[in-house]
Amino acid sequence: MKFSAISAAGVALLAAVSSVAASATADSNVVRRGLSSHHAHHRHHARDAKAERRSAVEKKKRAVDVVYTYVTVIVDAEGNTISPAGAEETSVSAPVIADVVSTSAVEAEPTTSSSSFSVPVETSSSASESSSTTSITSSSTTFAVVTSTSSSSSSSSSSATSTSSTSETSSTTSSGSYPTSTDLLPNYEGPYEEFTDGVVPCSTFPAGQGVIATDWLDIGGWSGIQLSGESLAGQGTSCEDGNLCSYACQPGMSKTQWPSEQPSTGESRGGLLCNNGYLYRTNTNSNYLCEWGVQSAQIVSELDQSVAICRTDYPGTENMVIPTEVDAGATEPLSVVNQATYYQWQGKATSAQYYVNNAGVSVADGCIWGTPGSTVGNFAPLNFGAGAVDGVTYLSLIPNPNCDATLNFNVKIVASDGATVNGECSYVDGVYSGGSSGCTVAVTSGTANFVLY
C-alpha cells in the first residue's frame, strides 16, 4: 500500500514514533497510520573514546534491526477509533537509522558523502555597511556563514535584537546536578529575554530563559557538540569555531535552534553555531533558545523515588540526554511538540521521544548513552512519545527493542479533570494494554497525565 499525505487537515500521528502519519479525509473521519509492531528508535553511536568515534565514522553500525508493520486505523474527528479491525497492513524489514521513519519509505543508511548548509549570522557594528560570507569547510560538510554589518546599533534582521545582559549569562548548576526550581521559568511562562547573536562567547554556556545545563556530560553544559565536517559519530568536547553546540531546555520546553538546511545523509544537525569565538542562532526565525510545547501532557508521580525521563537531543546528536526529573510525588510538564511548526526531517513532521529509566536512577546516571544490559539511557525499558497535529495530541507508551527488562513501576495515561482523552493506554508489570507494540491515546481537549505508580 502507498503511504502519502493526502490532506493536511487529516494528519494524525502515532506520537511515540517520530514519523509522519499519512492522512486522508472521508467525511469527518481521519486515517491514522502507525506502527503496529516495533517502533522506530534513534540510531546512535558510542562516543566515549576517539578510537570509537573514528571507527563509527569509518563504518556506521546499525543499533538494531526491526520489522515495521504499518496499520491503517480509521478515527473520527474526536480521535475515536472507528474501524481497527481488518485494517490494511504491510511489513518491511529495515535497519533503524534515525528518529524519523517515513511512512512512504524506509531510508537507506546514511553515508559520509559531502553535504552543505548555510547559516545566516548577523552582527552589528559602527562600521560602514558591508557584507561578507565566511565558509567553514571540511571534508564532508560546509557551514556557509553570512555575516553582515551596519551603521545601525541594532541588527538589520527582521528579528528584534535583545538589550538583555545575555553575555553575562552562565550556568548556575553544579557539575552533575539537576537545575533547581529557582533556575527554571514558571511552567508555560516566558521566555522573556531574547538571545543576541555574536555577544555570548562560545566558552560561556547560555543558561537561563529555559536553557539548562547538562553538566554530567562534562562538555561545558552542552547536550552535544557536532564537529564541522563530521557525521553523528564525530563529537567534540568543547564549543569551538565551526561547531554546532546543542543544549537542553527545561521540562515542557524544546530547543528552537537548528539549521534549515540539513545534511543530505539524513543525519540531523542542531544547536547554536560557534563562529569567531561567539554564539549565533542557526534559526533566526526564533529570538529565543527554548519554547513551550503544547500544554496537553504532564507526568504525575505516585512513587516514593525520583524518575529520570530522558528525551533525545533531536535534531542534533540524538543522544538521550535532555532531562525531565520527576521527584517522588511531584508533577512535571512533558514537552509535546506542535508538528506543524517543529523540526521537519526531509520535509516530514517529527515528534518527541523519551526514554524512561527505573525509579531511583538519577538523571546523571540515566540520561546518558547506555550500554547493553544496563537498562539506562537508550537501554531503558520504556519509551514515551508525544506530538500534536491539528489540535489533537497523541501520547504513547512503547517498548524499547534494545531492552527486554521490565520497568520497576507501572504507567498509565489518563485524563486530568475536565480533559477529553480517547483510548486507553497503560503499562502494568511489563504488559502494554495495546499489545506488544505499545499503545496510544488521543487528547482532544485539556491535559492528559502520565501517571507513574
Contact in structure between 335 and 248 (CB atoms under 8 Å): no
Largest CA distance in the chain: 69
Strands (E), 241-381: 244-246, 248-249, 253-255, 272-275, 278-280, 290-292, 297-301, 307-311, 322-326, 331-333, 337-338, 344-345, 348-349, 352-356
Show the CA angle centred on residue 325, arms to residues 319 and 328, nearest 5°: 150
User: Using alpha carbons only, how large is the chain's radius of gyration in Å?
Assistant: 21
* Beta bridge mates, 451: 300, 412
pLDDT of residue 70: 34
pLDDT of residue 437: 94
Q: How many helices (H) and strands (E) does the chain have?
A: 2, 33
Mean pLDDT for back-to-back runs of 10 residues, the chain (453 residues): 30 37 33 32 39 36 36 45 41 33 32 41 40 38 36 36 37 47 87 98 98 97 87 73 97 97 90 98 97 98 99 95 98 97 92 97 96 95 97 97 96 98 98 96 98 99
pLDDT of residue 167: 35
pLDDT of residue 263: 87
User: What is the rounded CA–CA span in Å between residue 220 and residue 309?
Assistant: 22
pLDDT of residue 264: 85
Pick the closest to residue 278 from 170, 197, 201, 226 (CA basis). 201
Tell me the pTM.
0.68
Q: Which helix (H) or strand (E) holds 116?
A: strand 115-122
Contacts by 367-371, CB closer than 8 A, 24 or more apart: 367/214, 367/216, 367/308, 367/310, 367/320, 367/321, 367/322, 367/323, 368/216, 368/217, 368/319, 368/320, 368/321, 369/44, 369/46, 369/47, 369/48, 369/319, 369/320, 371/46
Task: Report CA-CA distances (Å) from 352 to 17, 220, 450.
Answer: 8, 25, 15
CB atoms within 10 A of CB 338: 19
Q: Name the H helices within 120-222.
A: none
Q: Which three cell numbers stand for residue 72?
A: 491503517
User: What is the rounded CA–CA span in Å between residue 200 and residue 274?
Assistant: 10
User: What is the rounded CA–CA span in Å between residue 335 and residue 448?
Assistant: 12
Contact in structure between 305 and 299 (CB atoms under 8 Å): no
Q: Write out 157-168 in H/E/C secondary structure.
A: CCCCCCCCCHHH
Would you list the domain boundaries of the chain?
8-101, 167-291
354: left (phi over 0), alpha (psi -120 to 50) or beta: beta
* Beta bridge mates, 35: 70
Contact in structure between 360 and 326 (CB atoms under 8 Å): no
pLDDT of residue 34: 33
Task: Report CA-CA distances (Å) from 375 to 47, 166, 170, 453.
Answer: 18, 39, 33, 19
